[in-house]
Amino acid sequence: MNIAEFLKEDRISLNLKASNKEKTIEEMAGLLRDANEISDFDLYLKDVYEREALQTTGIGNRIAIPHARTDAVTEFVIAFGRSVEGVEFNSLDKKSVKIIFLMGTPKKKGVNSYLQILAYLTRLLNKEDFREALLNASTPKTVINEFRKFETNTVL
């Protein structure tokens, strides 16, 4: 499993403008508005907000992974965003979030593969040098290359 294969340069924002959780999710969702993997954008966004209302996806270490299993998505889809200022995400460690992954997966694909992707991404993000590489990336291409480098050279 490689996250890099799902990342696309036009779905990466290195300078998110939003200053709160809802607007950040909305801004990032805009990166996916025309994604072929999303069949119903409004339903997808609604499902992401509903999932976020259940429990924060601010997992700590300045990372949030808002996501949804939804009928509005036909294939796994992901966007990456970075906030220079940080966004209050009600994170488990109470710190503002700077690295955000917005994801969606179809309900019909089952929960196992989705949970594996979430767990894999979380393990990768537990590595401080990887988080620093993402925070310091200067272009979307660099973000994807950092994923490739760490996914190739890291045993998780």
Cα distances (Å, whole numbers) of residue 81 to 78, 109, 120, 152? 10, 25, 18, 22
Residue 109: both structure tokens together: 């694909």
| CA quadruple 28, 30, 34, 40: dihedral sign | positive
What 3 state SS string does 38-50 have? ECCHHHHHHHHHH
- Set 11, 62, 67, 82: catalytic member: 67
Strands (E), the chain: 12-13, 58-60, 63-64, 67-70, 77-87, 97-106
What's the chain's Rg over C-alpha atoms?
Answer: 14
88 catalytically annotated? no
User: Do 64 and 100 contact (CB within 8 A), yes or no?
Assistant: yes
Q: Which amino acid is at 61?
A: N
Known catalytic residues are 67
